[in-house]
Chains A and B, each alone.
Chain A
Amino acid sequence: MALPALFSGIGFLLTLLFLASPHSPWLIALFTFVAQPCFLVGFVLWGLRVKAAYKQKTS
């Protein structure tokens, strides 16, 4: 789970930074164009992990 954690972690970090200073254009941009994709990637990776774990369980 290291990889998904990494991406989701980046996402959370950037989101928190943004929420701390909501008017900074840099942080808005980082949230919109970096954090959100990272979250989505983290979600996909998590889904793959779950799928792999389920496959392993049933095999």
Chain B
Amino acid sequence: MTTTKLIFTFVGFVALPLGAMALASYQVFEGVKEVEACGSCHVMQSKVFDMKSLDAEGNPLPVQDEECKRGGECKAVKLLDKDGKTVKLRDRNGKVVKDKDDQDVEVEMLVKSRSLAARHYSKGWIADKQCYNCHTDYSFAGSMKAKGDGFRHLARYITGRYEEPIVFRGYYDNNNCLKCHGETEKYLLVPSHHAIAEPLATSQTSCLNCHGPAHADHPIPLSYQE
């Protein structure tokens, strides 16, 4: 093999691929942080829509009544998928849930959801990459773990190896809340936070215990024995 050929093949089989991998990986690593990346999967769509209080097209849900427009109570509206059809509620095995009249139950959302995700979003408390910011643990290891979990979600999604409704494996680390809230005056002034500092630190007690579900259709934990 001549030196020229060696150099060319090196560039072609090593350098360029490495460069392409680096470029594309950077694109992936940054791209998956965006809300759109999570929202591209229909399973997550209801959470993203709840957070943003949007319809399937990404438009603010039609505010149908005057009351809601004036800042009063808002009624629930049906969630629509990309084709404009109503989204049906399904159980763990993917079967459509029926109501007492044996009709399919359709997913409804509050126009102004009061879930933690919706409140954080609507008040602009997290500037962007909202899903990523809450679902990434602290420091480099945390972000690697989050990205790894993202790829895992991806592998499952495209191979169809999941059941609906999806359940949460592992546990949600409280530090994801505390990294923003943990040092604030408001947090430190609550005696209960000090009382359970240890169970909070290990996430044995979840912040969500007192502060409620993060998402409107909050996933129940795995191995829930019905």
Q: Residues of A at under 8 Å CB distance from B? A: 1, 4-5, 8, 11-12, 15, 18-19, 22-26, 28-29, 31-33, 35-36, 39, 42-43, 45-46, 49-50, 53-54, 57
Contact assessment for A53 and B21 in the assembled complex, using a CB-CB cutoff below 8 Å: no
Additional 6 contacts, C-beta under 8 A, given A15-B24, A26-B158, A46-B13 = A18-B27, A19-B27, A29-B154, A31-B24, A33-B155, A35-B21
Assess A42 versus B27: contact at CB under 8 Å? Given A25-B157, A28-B154.
no
Contact assessment for B28 and A28 in the assembled complex, using a CB-CB cutoff below 8 Å: yes
Contact assessment for A11 and B1 in the assembled complex, using a CB-CB cutoff below 8 Å: no
A36 to B17, CA, bound (A): 9
The tally of residues in B whose CB lies under 8 Å from a CB in A reads 28
Q: B14 an interface residue at 8 Å Cβ cutoff?
A: yes
Q: B94 an interface residue at 8 Å Cβ cutoff?
A: no
Q: B41 an interface residue at 8 Å Cβ cutoff?
A: yes
Q: Residues of B at under 8 Å CB distance from A? A: 1, 6, 9-10, 12-14, 16-18, 20-21, 23-24, 27-28, 31-32, 34, 36-37, 40-41, 151, 154-155, 157-158
Assess A23 versus B31: contact at CB under 8 Å? Given A1-B9, A12-B20, A46-B14.
yes
A57 to B33, CA, bound (A): 50
Q: Tell me the number of A-to-B contacts counted with CB atoms below 8 Å.
A: 76
Q: Is the interface of B mostly helix, strand, loop or mixed?
A: helix
Assess A25 versus B158: contact at CB under 8 Å? Given A43-B14, A46-B9, A57-B1.
yes
Q: B32 contacts which chain A residues (CB < 8 A)?
A: 28
Q: Is the interface of A mostly helix, strand, loop or mixed?
A: helix
Q: A28 contacts which chain B residues (CB < 8 A)?
A: 28, 31-32, 154
Q: B21 contacts which chain A residues (CB < 8 A)?
A: 15, 35-36, 39
Q: A39 contacts which chain B residues (CB < 8 A)?
A: 17-18, 20-21
Q: A45 contacts which chain B residues (CB < 8 A)?
A: 13
A50 to B6, CA, bound (A): 8
A16 to B32, CA, bound (A): 17
Q: A32 contacts which chain B residues (CB < 8 A)?
A: 28, 151, 154
CB distance from A47 to the nearest CB of B (A): 8
A29 to B151, CA, bound (A): 8
